Amino acid sequence: MSASGGTKAIVAALSANLAIAVAKFVAFAFSGSSSMLAEGVHSLADSGNQALLLVGGKKAKREANDEHPFGYGRERYIYAFLVSIVLFSVGGMFALYEGYEKIKHPHEIEHWYWPIGVLVFAIIAESFSFRTAIIESNQTRGALSWTDFIRRAKAPELPVVLLEDFGALVGLVLALCGVGIALATGDGVWDGIGTLCIGILLIVIALVLAAETKSLLLGEGAGAESVAMIREAIVDGDTVTGVIHMRTLHLGPEELLVAAKIAVRHDDTAAEVARAIDAAEVRIREAVPIARVIYLEPDIYSEAAAAAGPDPTQTPGGDPHPH
């Protein structure tokens, strides 16, 4: 997933949400609709979220230094996690509170054309933002379903924007239903019910985002396809005869660490092993370009030692083809 694609989707969502937030607050001022107030805060929170994602993307580009030798790529995960917290605390909790208050103290919606007009405008604007996020995501999603894409994506920006835009569209429909039923029945309680539904929706999305970004913060390895490609690239069948064990870790969305203990022949010279390791690193980077930090440790593979040891994936020995 390219950072540029994520940035384009973020900017599109930020522009749409700022305009929509202003329109919703104006509609609330004229109509007194709690759904409009909740949706206004929702859009304002979304705007703040997208600003956080842009800040995280910029900070992640800082060069590695002695204090952070692997760079700052994970800043993007930290800011994506903050987004889920903001969406929960600012958007979801406020909507729940406002919905409860409106149900407890309902009042008739005034100047109905303001909330209806703004909601229709917001749905159109959010649809364009959602369309941009879908187009950018499709460039890297491949054959993955949308659920798998959100769960497996290592770059957090597009999944976050997708879920935010989807939640915004569903929230707008809920607000439209709440306002519409309140106008049709003359009972402002329905406006409050719509606001409660918006709050529940935002909290659910926030929890999904928090779970996914927490996994990235803890440290995720490369996907199964990338691992298989790396393993195949390491072995040359001559000097490097197998992979005893290997670990991968995402240092950032577009930077992968690869550490492997490789099996070499017992009669190879140090110079031959060094040349084989250099060649293996070149093959790995050709197969998986984001594999930028690579550590390969040579060892002599021994089937007897592997069979006798408590753990066949450890050295001495080890399984050159672990499953």
pTM of the full predicted structure?
A: 0.70
With beta carbons less than 8 A apart as the criterion, state whether 189 and 106 touch: yes
CB 222 within 8 A of CB 250: yes
pLDDT digits (tens, 9 = 90+) for 70-127: 888 888 888 888 877 776 677 788 888 888 888 888 877 777 788 888 888 888 888 8
- Label residue 277 by pLDDT band (50, 70, 90): very high
CA distance 81 to 62: 19
- 201 vs 145, 150, 196, 217, CA distance in Å? 22, 17, 9, 24
Band (48; pLDDT cuts 50, 70, 90) = confident
pLDDT in the model for residue 308: 57
Q: What is the pLDDT of residues 195-226, one digit of tens each?
A: 888 888 888 888 888 888 888 888 888 888 89
> What is the band of 314 on the pLDDT scale with cuts at 50, 70, 90?
low
**DSSP letter (8 states) at residue 74:** T
